[in-house]
Amino acid sequence: MNRLFPSAILVSLLLVVPGAVLTSSQAQPASSGDFNYFANPPYVAVSPSTVVPNDVPLCLTSNTNVPTYPVIYCYSPNFIQTAYNFNGAYKLVGGYGAAGEGQTIVIVDAYGSPTIESDLHHFDSIFGIPDPPSFQIVCSPPGCPSFNPLNFPLDELGWTIETTLDVEYAHAMAPAANIVLVVASTPAGDAINTAEAIAISSFPGSVMSQSFGIPEYLITGNNAQVQQAEQNYIAAAAAGITVLASAGDAGAGNGINTANALFPSSSPLVTAVGGTQGNPLGGLVKYKGSCSPSPRPGFPTSCTPTGYGSEAVWNEAWLPAAGGGAPSLIFAAPSWQPFSLTGSTMRTTPDISYNAAVDGGVLVYWTACLTCISPTFSGWFVVGGTSAGSPQWAAIFAIADQLRSMNHKGPLGFVNPALYRLAESRKYTSDFHDITVGNNELAGTTIGFNAQPGYDLASGWGTPNVGNLVADLSS
């Protein structure tokens, strides 16, 4: 691992990308006020004795709030790879171990995690994943922050779980890609912007994932940190960098009864990733054999994933949580998102989606502070949220960039127009799973959007058929 402390930050402000149009409310003088981003993916601790690598998508939990208690659906990487046809993409690049070769995935998080290197290595060893060819931790000045799990106001513990989820699953889906964890000193907008400016100038042609955000209703008006972030995204587009962000875990209103999107996913220069869940519960993946949790206490020894099942919009009332997606309060609609498609004159999110269920989430190994949660926990958690989608979509775009490089083409960079062109073409049904069931109305609120055929504000264009999608993006 290398720790980098750049002495200078250089951001290009020369490229103006069509669609990055701010509304009149942003034309006022800049505010000096800062804000803090949020990142704390929903998770459930599970018993290590029921983590069966690559065999059984079932775990035991002591959390009685889970509707399927004590059994919870839990996925190791190979189940997700099979459901979304990553295997089709791997065949195009020479196999799983070569996926993402020559590419760089940049993960941006506040605080990082003191155990991320050892956790990633253990995660890889359990699931038979090769170590990344390069894993760098880049900290913005004045250097990597010391770990303070008692920093409850800024939820430093939640950020460590977020960091671990992001790194482990970006790597698991594209194991030959270089991983760069860019650590901001705090979750403040200014600190995140500083860290991202370093990443953009240091890693041109990369793919950058942001599994954090802030509800737009908290930042309406001309906030200086929003303007700084937009300049970063303009610079990223100029540097051939694809930028993603999670669309949120609190429904269409981000916890209130007014529709609003989550920033930075609402930026027209960012690809917003929404959430889905298996339909029915546990139905994301098709299996060969029985995956029934009964009779207990013995689980079946094996059930082989064979393909994609079915999905609905992510909405788990027991958490409560639901996928973000709504018209922006800040950004006007870009040209590639016309009113005839979205029914709005404003930028709408999400653009695409991915599995975000907790009961049906991914297995993550995290040991930064187990005693902070419970002295009996082992380090294995089932984690969900749209946070899980952004780094895995980053891996998808890294594989697409790898294919483009093999075909002597440059990186995708700002990808939204290309995504929408594909989705509006005859390629849609082969490149995406159209989500037509469910809504993103968070329990306890009255605002939400229904899934429907084609694009919608609950799931965007849907989830990927990775093998087909990367082939089309590469051409």
Report the distance separating Cα 75 and Cα 41, nearest Å: 16
Report the distance separating Cα 97 and Cα 109, nearest Å: 26
Q: What is the pLDDT of residue 376?
A: 67
Q: What is the pLDDT of residue 147?
A: 92
The residue assigned the tokens 């009149």 is 24
Q: What is the DSSP annotation of 211-249? A: --BEEGGGT-S-BHHHHHHHHHHHHHHHTT-EEEEE--S
Contact 263, 330 (CB under 8 A): yes
Q: Does domain 2-474 have CATH number 3.40.50.200?
A: yes
Burial of 57 (0-12, 13-18, 19+ CB in 10 A): buried
Q: What is the pLDDT of residue 71?
A: 87
Residue 70's CB is within 10 A of a number of other CB atoms, namely: 17
Contact 244, 166 (CB under 8 A): no
Q: In which region does residue 409 sit, left (phi positive, over 0), alpha (psi from -120 to 50) or beta (all else)? A: beta
pLDDT in tens, the chain (475 residues): 443 333 222 222 222 222 332 222 222 233 456 899 999 899 999 887 777 666 778 888 888 999 989 889 999 999 999 999 999 999 999 999 999 999 999 999 999 999 999 999 999 999 999 999 999 999 988 888 899 998 989 999 999 999 999 999 999 999 999 999 999 999 999 999 999 999 999 999 999 999 999 999 998 655 889 999 999 999 999 999 999 999 999 999 999 999 999 999 999 999 999 999 999 988 999 988 766 654 344 455 568 899 999 999 999 999 999 999 999 999 999 999 999 999 999 999 999 999 999 999 999 999 999 888 776 677 999 999 999 999 999 999 999 999 999 999 999 999 999 999 999 999 999 999 999 999 999 999 999 999 999 999 999 999 999 999 999 999 8
Q: What is the pLDDT of residue 54?
A: 67
CA angle 79, 82, 85 (to 5 degrees): 145
Q: What is the pLDDT of residue 223?
A: 80
Domain ranges of the chain: 2-474
Task: For residue 368, give the amino acid letter.
Answer: A
Q: What are phi and psi of 317, to 5 degrees?
A: -65, -25
Q: HEC string of 143-203? A: CCCCCCCCCCCCCHHHHHHHHHHHHHHHHHHCCCCEEEEEEECCCEHHHHHHHHHHHHHHC
Q: What is the pLDDT of residue 375?
A: 64
Contact 371, 233 (CB under 8 A): no
Contact 275, 249 (CB under 8 A): yes
Pairing of strands 321-322, 315-316: antiparallel
Q: Which helix (H) or strand (E) holds 390?
A: helix 389-406
Q: What is the pLDDT of residue 378?
A: 79
Contact 25, 216 (CB under 8 A): no
What pTM value is reported for the model? 0.92
> Residue 122: helix, strand or coil by DSSP?
helix
The residue assigned the tokens 């959430």 is 275
Can you read off the two tokens belonging to residue 341? Answer: 């498609």
Can you read off the two tokens belonging to residue 97? Answer: 């171990």
> Which residue from 325, 449, 318, 323 is spatially nearest to 386, judged by alpha carbons?
323
Q: What is the pLDDT of residue 52?
A: 66
